[in-house]
Amino acid sequence: MSTVLSGLDARLPDLERLYVDLHRHPELGFAETRTAAELARRLTADGYEVHTGIGGTGVLGVLRTGPGPTVLLRADIDALPVRERTGLAYASTATAVDQDGREVPVMHACGHDMHATWLSGAAAQLAAHRGEWSGTLLAVFQPAEEAGGGARAMVADGLFDRAGPPDVAFGQHVTPGPAGWVLTRPGALMAATDALRVTLHGRGGHGSRPETTVDPVVLAASVVLKLQTIVSREIAATEAAVVTVGSLHAGTAHNIIADEAVLEVNVRSFDGGVRRRVLAAIERIVHAEAQAAGAPRPPEMTELATFPVLTNDEAATARLTEVFTGHFPEGRVWEAPQVTGSEDFGELAAAAGVPSVFWLVGGLDERTVLEAIAAGRFETDIPSNHSPLFAPVLHPTLRTGVEALVVAAMDWFGSPAVA
């Protein structure tokens, strides 16, 4: 392993430049053209067979060194419609037009710029030492993870037709934990997500004559309050779910009662049975409240996004945790908590029918994080993913992420003699 990782220190300044460049130029899902072009250029320079435009803007690099297993390493590359407030010298000032035609600020608030840099560095490191391993490496740079469609789009566009399916898939995510820490967990790691748009129909009119209307704002308020009882009154204390109404729009003026109200609802769960009960309860409540209000038409419910539970293969996770524990310094490898955030990484392994492991890598100043935890102020003082203040420290975050990917791949590849 020390041989395959030799030269990484000398590579870090270039990876830092790549990270800063990606951070300054974030792009929304399925619009990552500049990002994809730079990552493809680097793969080509490292000797990979490169395929671009997969599932829109996805990139696949293939490197074959001989007989042996096929290992897939994946990084997501899209950013978020968030206005950056980190104060960094390389902070994003980018804007873009979203899928609804609105101009929005754009920021890598979830750390996908770090993920892309990690994989680019690991791909370069493994290519530089290709004589030390035998097999096939698939470096997958995936678009549009945030909306939940990127992995499916790449699979549907023939990702595995280019070089065949992998034998195992690995991925990782930067988290607001201490930089240099690596966190693994067998089984369910990240939650399933269901995002819904609910359109409630009323009968509009003048604000001075509410008796002639069916007010969708009052209806929406009833729905929002009632939805909050699902978790508190229909889900057992030993089970987990989250129901959030993240968006509510109705009306255009203070003296007009609108014709409709539109809600966007987000559901998180770790268990299929819980998920089905929550979704059924949402549908029941929405329709019942509309009927109780005398709505002129039934409500409409549209799926916006869906992510499955991200579940790590038990045996592969145990094996990788042991390898990480042996490689990284003592006190750096920990068990990850379950995360109510969601990821579509697992769809790649599910489509290929192979085991997969996804882990977390800390990205914030260790002393700051540990002091906040000790003071009971982690939730209030430490910016999390999707915050406009989220900003991973470059070192040792860069090196840790690159090493983790290389170590995972090399454990599976072994050496030419073993393969």
Distances in Å between the Cα of 369 and the Cα atoms of 71, 363, 372 are: 33, 10, 5
322 is in an annotated binding site: no
Cα–Cα distance for residue pair 53/154, rounded to 1 Å: 9
What is the average per-residue pLDDT within 55-59? 98
249 is in an annotated binding site: no
Task: State pLDDT tens for residues 302-348.
Answer: 999 999 999 999 999 999 999 999 999 999 999 999 999 999 999 99
Kindly tell me if the per-residue pLDDT of 419 is higher than 80: no
Question: 282 Cβ partners below 8 Å, 6+ apart?
Answer: 196, 227, 230, 243, 265, 267, 301
Cα–Cα distance for residue pair 45/39, rounded to 1 Å: 10
Kindly tell me if the per-residue pLDDT of 418 is higher than 60: no
Task: State pLDDT tens for residues 239-285.
Answer: 999 999 999 999 999 999 999 999 999 999 999 999 999 999 999 99
DSSP, residue by residue, 142-184: E--TTTT-HHHHHHHTTHHHHH---SEEEEEEEEEEETT-EEE
Distances in Å between the Cα of 250 and the Cα atoms of 99, 221, 261, 284 are: 20, 11, 4, 22
| Comma-separated ranges of CATH 3.40.630.10 domains in the chain | 8-190+309-413
User: Annotated catalytic residue: which of 27, 113, 145, 344?
Assistant: 145
Model confidence at 301, pLDDT cuts 50, 70, 90, reads very high
What is the average per-residue pLDDT within 137-165? 96
Burial of 242 (0-12, 13-18, 19+ CB in 10 A): middle
Kindly tell me if the per-residue pLDDT of 100 is higher than 90: no
Q: What's the CATH superfamily of 8-190+309-413?
A: Zn peptidases (3.40.630.10)
Any catalytic annotation for residue 78?
yes
Nearest to 59 by CA among 103, 97, 116, 122: 116
Cα–Cα distance for residue pair 240/123, rounded to 1 Å: 38
Task: State pLDDT tens for residues 172-191.
Answer: 999 999 999 999 999 999 99
> In degrees to the nearest 10, what's the CA dihedral of 278, 281, 287, 291?
-150
Model confidence at 141, pLDDT cuts 50, 70, 90, reads very high
Kindly tell me if the per-residue pLDDT of 207 is higher than 70: yes
Which pLDDT score, from 0 to 100, does residue 1 have? 81
327 is in an annotated binding site: no
Report pTM: 0.94
Four-residue CA torsion sign, 402, 404, 405, 410: positive
Question: 92 Cβ partners below 8 Å, 6+ apart?
Answer: 23, 24, 25, 26, 79, 84, 105, 106, 107, 108
Which pLDDT score, from 0 to 100, does residue 414 have? 82
User: Annotated catalytic residue: which of 27, 38, 76, 78?
Assistant: 78
Cα–Cα distance for residue pair 413/66, rounded to 1 Å: 11
| Comma-separated ranges of CATH 3.30.70.360 domains in the chain | 192-306
Given 3-state DSSP classes, what are the helix, strand and coil percentages for the chain, each rounded to the nearest 5? 35, 25, 35
The structure tokens listed for 18 are 């790549």
Q: Look up residue 185 and give its amino acid.
A: R
Which pLDDT score, from 0 to 100, does residue 416 have? 43
49 is in an annotated binding site: no
Cis peptide before 396 (omega within 30 of 0): yes
Any catalytic annotation for residue 145?
yes
Q: Look up residue 98 and give its amino acid.
A: D
Cα–Cα distance for residue pair 301/287, rounded to 1 Å: 10
Which pLDDT score, from 0 to 100, does residue 259 have? 98
**Angle (nearest 5°) at CA 109 between 105 and 115:** 125
| CATH 3.30.70.360 holds for 192-306 | yes
SS3 8: helix
Axis crossing angle, helix 397-413 with helix 112-128, rounded to the nearest 10: 50
Q: Are 144 and 110 in contact (CB under 8 A)?
A: no
Which pLDDT score, from 0 to 100, does residue 410 have? 98
Task: State pLDDT tens for residues 352-377.
Answer: 999 999 999 999 999 999 999 999 99
**Angle (nearest 5°) at CA 408 between 406 and 410:** 65
